[in-house]
Structure 1
Amino acid sequence: MTVPSTMTPGATRPRTPAATARPTAPPAAPTRPEHGSARGEAELRRAELAAFLRSRRERTMPEQVGLPRGRRRRTPGLRREEVAQLATVGVTWYTWLEQGRDIHVSPQVLSSIARALMLDRAERNHLFALAGAADPEPDRSCTGLPEGTLQLLDQLGPYPAVIQNTRFDLLAYNRSYGRLLCDLDAVPPEERNCLWLAFTHPDWRAAITDWDETVRLLVARFRASTAGNVSEPAAKALVARLAEVSEDFRRIWARHEVVQPTSKCKLFHQADVGLLRVATTSLWTGPQFGPRMIAYTPMDEETRVRLDRLHALAMGEGQSAGG
């Protein structure tokens, strides 16, 4: 069973602010939000981002980041120019962020600000959610799945099983699933997403016997599963990334098809053991729609034998890596 490993951002020491070219004209100050509209939602998000940054700045003491307090400090916490210096961004640019101006901020700049303000993981996630950006250093710690659920996932072997969320992120999987479509352990944690792998990973694509129909239904299920929160930053970022790298995805996404998940027979061509005919069973892991466990069981005796072989291969590799 595999879950992402923990990663802690490194500490950032004060540096001389990098030269930043000022825009020729400042963006307009935010107006009163128009509730119920896309513009109103964006303005509310910017206002919340501005308030959040101010509160985190005022909470952070100079001594915490290696700066002298000085005698004439009237600002609680850090000054704006100090945050800009620590994050190596322009003072004007950071000031506009705290004013809720309509400016584009790169994920790298947000990451620098998060380190400068010493944000913890929850605060960092909140920062990127408010900014509508994908975190370049995503949370690779345990996904918060109950230990009993992870044990059940392991015990389903030799049958492949995985836990995924509504965005089709692969939160955890057993050894058989880790070898089913590709060497999943070799895939960076931030790329372990069914939709992303189906369009970008050659081994994953080759293992799908009817790729055209499978990805059409996969995209339609993704659209249906995320309909309740279409503005979620992570889902929007995934769609944007796929649209940038895959013409096939752009074409299918433009159809606006939706379907509900169904249990049915699937055919996979596993590189080491051959053709697999499996039935899918989905189990929700909580009282509300969210992460679900998907298990693949054999449809015939030949597939059962091949899944046993696949499991033995996966377990052998795991023991070699561990010993």
Structure 2
Amino acid sequence: MAEDALKTHRLRELREFLMSRRARVTPVEAGLPDGGARRRTPGLRREEVAVLAGVGASWYQWLEQGRDISVSPQVLDAVARVLRLSNAERRHLYVLAGLNPPAPEPASRDDCEGLRRLIDTWMPYPAHIMDIYYNCVMYNDAAGVVLGMRPENTQNCLIDFFTDQLYRGRSHSWERNARTVVAQFRATCSACPDDEGFQQVLAQAKAASEEFAALWDERDIQDAGLIRKELEHPVVGLLCVESTAMKVPARPDLTVVLHTPLPEANTAAKLEWLASPEGRRGTMYPVAG
């Protein structure tokens, strides 16, 4: 009964949403003649949406009435195009129609600049941003100095964790954290079992690291959470930080990973010194930028 009530609510929301979006698109915006005062319907008529989307008029009427009919992503995309839906609205349409929403579109310039400001504000502590496949989108200077992030890496955080000898050479906690990293990646993969992107990363990671392949075969699974990292920096010595992975509400495909200094080893002061002009001059490895 509860499921029936939720479905009824979803279909009712679908009806109201489509009607509201159709009413705001003018014939001129849709490439149709302006009917002027003869038009009684605000925005487009149902029949016009159906023709422009390449679907049957009866089918679109049933969709907008909230009937329980079969829909495909291709048809929803056509309707979204005619109704000039934003990416967020298109994803919402999928959810209301009972389908898994598509991945968000690539970040706009404003989104990227905002995210860059976010991780730069986290200085002098390391921070980076990765997509759902663990590809590194951007990182701040401290991530380059402390974690060894740099352009010549693969730019996939999972693969680099296992293959970057600079990072592994610094990490006292690598073996302990490796199991956690693989278990968390499995949890991410399990949420999207049919996503070919995850399968490609998985194949690359197995080919690049026998250690990863062995841990993957253990089938441990773990939700994302805090990870303690102990690193031996060549200039300032031991650093103890705690990484926190957080989703970006406006971009659910992105994860911000912030590293917070722990009380041990005077870590905060060391990170501040590394980010200072004197520390930058004394850094053994170039600052990634």
**Does the Cα contact within 8 Å between 1:224 and 1:259 map onto a contact in 2?**
yes
1:274, CA displacement in angstroms?
1.5
Could you say which structure has the larger radius of gyration? 2
User: TM-score, normalized by length of structure 1?
Assistant: 0.49
In 1, the alpha carbon distance for the partners of 2:219 and 2:151 equals 33
- Does 1:194 pair with 2:160? no
Say whether 1:172 aligns with 2:138.
Answer: yes
Quote the Cα distance in structure 2 between the aligned partners of 1:230 and 1:261. Answer: 18
Do the aligned partners of 1:298 and 1:304 also contact (CA within 8 Å) in 2? yes
Query: Runs of 5+ in structure 1 lacking a partner?
Result: 1-140
Deviation of 1:287 (Å)? 4.5
**Superposed CA offset, 1:156-182 (max 9, x none):** 111111111222221111100112222
2:274 to 310, 316, 322: 310
Per-residue deviation, residues 109-155 of structure 1 (Å, max 9, x unmatched): xxxxxxxxxxxxxxxxxxxxxxxxxxxxxxxx988643222112111
* One-letter amino acid matched to 1:187: E
Matched, 1:156 2:129: no
Task: Return the letter of the residue paired with 1:206.
Answer: G
Q: Aligned AA for 2:156?
A: N
Q: 1:142 to 1:205 in 2, by over 3 A?
A: farther
Judged with a 3 Å threshold, the aligned counterparts in structure 2 of structure 1 residues 198 and 280 are, in CA distance, closer, same or farther, namely: closer
Q: 1:305 to 1:142 in 2, by over 3 A?
A: same
AA of the residue aligned to 2:182 = V
1:279 corresponds to which letter in structure 2? E
Q: Distance in 1 between matches of 2:177 and 2:261?
A: 19
Q: What is the root-mean-square deviation of aligned Cα atoms in Å?
A: 2.8
1:3-152 equivalences in 2 (<5 Å): 145-152=111-118
The percentage of aligned residue pairs carrying the same residue is 24
Aligned equivalents of 1:196, 1:224: Cα separation in 2: 17
SS in 1 for 2:191: helix
Normalising by structure 2, we get a TM-score of 0.54
Cα contact 2:224–2:245 (8 A) shared by 1:
no
Report the equivalent of 1:234.
Answer: 197
Judge conservation of contact 1:166–1:226 (CA < 8 Å) in 2: no
Q: Distance in 1 between matches of 2:161 and 2:108?
A: 22
Q: Partners of 1:321 and 1:211 in 2: how far apart?
A: 23
Q: Which runs of 5+ in 2 are unaligned?
A: 1-105
**Contact 1:175–1:315 (CA<8 Å) still a contact in 2?**
no
Aligned-partner Cα distance in 2 for 1:193–1:269: 22
Structure 2 distance, partners of 1:233, 1:273, is 42
**1:232 aligned partner, one-letter code:** D
How many pairs are equivalent?
177
Alignment partner for residue 185 of structure 1, among 138, 147, 150?
150
1:243 equivalent in alignment to 2:209: no
